[in-house]
Amino acid sequence: MAAGKKAKNVARSAKGKAKEATGRAAGNESLEAKGRAEQMKSDAKQTVQKGKDTLKH
């Protein structure tokens, strides 16, 4: 996986976890859901990138 894309996905996942935790602490279900969605998006992009890397080799 390209280092830049991996770093971006890890950062997005961390940001999503922070949003989810903040939403949970504040009782804000919308923010919590946005955080989970951001994490899922990051995980999906990482999976796609790993698949591309596998096909290249």
38 close to 15: Cβ distance less than 8 angstroms: yes
Q: For the segment 11-42, what is each residue's pLDDT rounded down to a tens digit?
A: 999 999 999 999 999 999 999 999 999 999 99
At 7 the pLDDT is: 87
Residue 35 has φ and ψ, to the nearest 5°, of -65, -45
Q: Supply the pTM of this predicted model.
A: 0.80
Q: How many folded domains does the chain comprise? A: 1
Residue 54: pLDDT band by 50, 70, 90 thresholds?
confident
At 1 the pLDDT is: 54
Q: Which domain holds residue 36?
A: 3-56
CA angle 19, 11, 26 (to 5 degrees): 10
Q: Which residues have a Cβ under 8 Å from the Cβ of 1 and sit 6 or more positions away?
A: 46, 49, 50, 53
**What whole-number distance in Å separates Cα of residue 36 and Cα of residue 8?**
17
At 52 the pLDDT is: 86
